[in-house]
Amino acid sequence: MFNRLALFLTLLTAFLQTSAQIRLPCLISDGMILQRDKPARLWGYASPGEKVSLVFKKTTYTAITGKDGKWMLTLPAQPAGGPFELSFSGTNNIVVKDVLFGDVWICAGQSNMELPLYRVQDFYGSLPAQLANPAIRQFEVPDRYNFKKPEEDLAGGSWQKAQGPSLNAFTAVGFFFAADLYKRYRVPIGLINTALGGSPAEAWISETELKAFPKPYEELQRFKNDSLIDAVETANTANQREWSALLYAADPGIKGQWQNEWSTTPWADSIEVPGYFPWKGNGSTWFRKQLYLSAAQANKPARLILGRIVDADSVFVNGRFAGTTGYQYPPRRYELPQGLLKEGWNTITVRIINSGAKGGWIPDKPYALVLDGDSLQLRGYWQYRRGAEMQPIAPQVFVRWKPGGLYNGMIAPLERYAAKGVIWYQGEANTGKPAEYRELMKTLIAEWRRRRNEPAMPFLFVQLANYMEAKPAPSESNWAATRQSQLETLEIPNTGMAVAIDLGEWNDIHPLRKREVGERLALEARRVAYGEKKLLSSGPLPLSVTRKGNHLWVNFDRAGKGLRTTDGKIVGYVTVAGADGRFVVAETSIRGKQLEVWHPAISLPVTVRYAWADNPAGANLVNDQGLPASPFTISVKE
């Protein structure tokens, strides 16, 4: 009896080892949107030689897995519609429910694409909820890198509808883009959100194509070494822990619990908030401010808004912990529970840690205690006490941004999934090498199209917004040069660019006006991807420049019925140079769809620049639809 049972278990184990159940990739799951009007590839995994069947609309499709256990089926092109079910069967059955056919857009890039709707909620109020739509869906690709090989599948993820709590996690740019397209075409829109904050373009390109870029290629080879990655990540963690532990031990505010001190213990020093710290050095500083509240005010729902802070903060109200943010970029919004505020004097205490950057409260941001719509301003003087002074923390090495890794982990697994096109918001991480960025983007676009076998796949991107201190006059700028590289990327067929030179914020690399960015991308999508070829889909783009005497005439595409300025004044932020390359502020005149440029001291002008600065305050050239002209540099062809 024992021998028979042992034999049965052995045979069962052998059967299970050679007869795996069919498995689907993460993308092919409930709620997915498949690309309409194109054959839809559906794939998965099972035992070698296993027959896999799919029933869709009462038609059966079959495939036999290869020796590697992989199979693929192709559905014929379908019109927009749904919901449908896909019923897969092999040694097991899987039913994928609530499937729609519509338009799928890959939303890629860095943090400005990744930035979720909840980050702009205060700016747009109820608008996202008004645009909520279950026919708009997002698949958020988990962050993952691999330097050795392309991944077969994603690390996880699911399709979510643009409604209810799920809406908050949608890419803000992608959502507004999708909402605008849905309003116009009334077809489901699927967003595959594959973006990672801080990532450079070379992280999204394969090893094969990176061979054309020696330094990124060499770095990719280095990070194939698991021991190196372990050492880097161990050092990062150790540096952070050691620095934080030293700060904690050295901070008298921790031992003395300064968050519990209020009017009975005066703090002698004060500083105006917002603003950067007037002192140098890193470490901790404690701030506090008192507010008098009536009983009615103290009982209202409360939110504490503290703009943005460099770098990290911990917030206490009346001695009780209210929230913390660990790095400088997110807006500080802390919901205060009922009972935390009281009638009479209330004390807000904020411990700020800066570990490398110049610390402070970012200017031109909101600072207030909001009580059920009633806003009590927190700007003005706050008392402060210095905590512990520290040396800057050792710079962190971000392994996830290294070349090739994100292509393998977050792009390769998507390549069989048909899409309408790509929207791309990235470039801030590449401003150190603007000329190289142009070549990287040409390589990236060509590769993504080739790997998908879609040589004309629409690729739309956002030009860098205005950022950093506003410049009253033109200046040398890597940001401007990167915008020029983006402008020149339009030489690639079936591309489009959303100009954002008027949508940025001088003090925030993550500007809030994501709706306008999404809608400008949608304009370009209508022209490039939806066949509205005559649509005025962007602001003026320079075509050529000619010389007549000592004047230059810039000719524009997409000038509409003619150029104009936003303020009715002359075109600002234009410079001109002769053969010596020395730029001076030019005189200008709009001549219909042309811009006339000159300077009395330059007899043989060669080059014109417009909006050439990190943040060109006063750049005001638009077309008749009010869409802004792209910043540019252009020279006479001799």
For residue 530, being part of any structural domain is answered with no
What element of type H or E holds 479?
Answer: helix 478-489
Q: What is the CATH number of the domain that holds 566?
A: 2.60.40
pLDDT at 10: 47
6, pLDDT greater than 80: no
pLDDT at 449: 98
Mean pLDDT of 490-500: 98
Mean pLDDT of 599-611: 97
pLDDT at 355: 94
368, pLDDT greater than 60: yes
In DSSP terms, 336 is beta-bridged to 302
pLDDT at 211: 98
What element of type H or E holds 287?
Answer: strand 282-293
Tally of CB atoms within 10 A around 501 = 24
- Residue 471: pLDDT band (50, 70, 90) is confident
Residue with tokens 């890193």: 282
For residue 395, whether the previous peptide bond is cis, meaning omega lies within 30 degrees of 0, is: no
pLDDT at 265: 67
- Residue 18: pLDDT band (50, 70, 90) is very low
For residue 276, being part of any structural domain is answered with yes
C-alpha 204 chain-centroid distance: 14
569, pLDDT greater than 50: yes
580, pLDDT greater than 90: yes
Query: Got the DSSP string for 162-183?
Result: ESGGGGGGSBHHHHHHHHHHHH
Closest CA to 463 of 504, 512, 495, 500: 500
State the DSSP code for 412. G
State the DSSP code for 22. P
pTM above 0.85, yes or no: yes
For residue 311, whether the previous peptide bond is cis, meaning omega lies within 30 degrees of 0, is: yes
| Amino acid letter for position 157 | G
For residue 142, being part of any structural domain is answered with no
The larger pLDDT score, comparing residue 148 to residue 260, is at 148
Q: What is the CATH number of the domain that holds 386?
A: 2.60.120.260
366, 390, 414: which is the final residue of a domain? 390
SS3 384: strand
Mean pLDDT of 451-455: 97
Mean pLDDT of 97-120: 98
11, pLDDT greater than 60: no
Closest CA to 122 of 305, 301, 299, 328: 305
pLDDT at 13: 43
Query: Got the DSSP string for 513-548?
Result: -HHHHHHHHHHHHHHHTS--TT---SS-EEEEEEEE
Tally of CB atoms within 10 A around 405 = 26
Between vectors from CA 167 to CA 164 and to CA 170, what angle results, nearest 5°? Answer: 165
- Directed axis angle between helix 172-185 and helix 514-528, to 10°? 50
Q: How far apart are CA 423 and CA 556, in angstroms?
A: 24
331, 361, 390: which is the final residue of a domain? 390
For residue 125, being part of any structural domain is answered with no
Q: What count of Cα atoms within 13 Å lies in the side-chain half-sphere of residue 497?
A: 28
- Residue 52: pLDDT band (50, 70, 90) is very high
Closest CA to 370 of 291, 427, 310, 314: 291
For 360, the token pair is 């402070």
Question: How much of the chain, in percent, has pLDDT values that exceed 90?
Answer: 92
For 261-306, how does the pLDDT look when each residue is reduced to its tens digit (9 = 90+)?
775 567 889 999 999 999 988 999 999 999 999 999 999 999 999 9
For residue 569, being part of any structural domain is answered with yes
Residue with tokens 């009972």: 339
For 370-412, how does the pLDDT look when each residue is reduced to its tens digit (9 = 90+)?
998 789 999 999 999 999 999 999 999 999 999 999 999 999 9
- Phi-psi sector, 149: left (phi>0), alpha (psi -120 to 50), beta: beta
Torsion of Cα atoms, 15 then 16 then 18 then 24, to 10°: 140
Helix/strand number for the chain, H first, E second:
14, 36
pLDDT at 4: 55
Q: What count of Cα atoms within 13 Å lies in the side-chain half-sphere of residue 220?
A: 27
For residue 184, being part of any structural domain is answered with no
Tell me the pLDDT of the chain averaged across its residues: 95
For residue 171, being part of any structural domain is answered with no
- Directed axis angle between helix 478-489 and helix 434-451, to 10°? 30
pLDDT at 266: 72
Can you give the residue range of the structural domain that contains 365? Answer: 249-390
Query: How many structural domains does the chain have?
Result: 2
Contact 361, 274 (CB under 8 A): yes
Question: How much of the chain, in percent, has pLDDT values that exceed 70?
Answer: 97
For 156, the token pair is 């996880």
For residue 183, being part of any structural domain is answered with no
Q: How far apart are CA 237 and CA 132, in angstroms?
A: 40
355, 390, 425: which is the final residue of a domain? 390
Q: Where are the beta strands (DSSP E) in 36-158?
A: 40-45, 51-56, 59-64, 70-75, 81-89, 93-109, 133-140
For 602, the token pair is 């330059």
Residues in the chain: 638
pLDDT at 16: 41
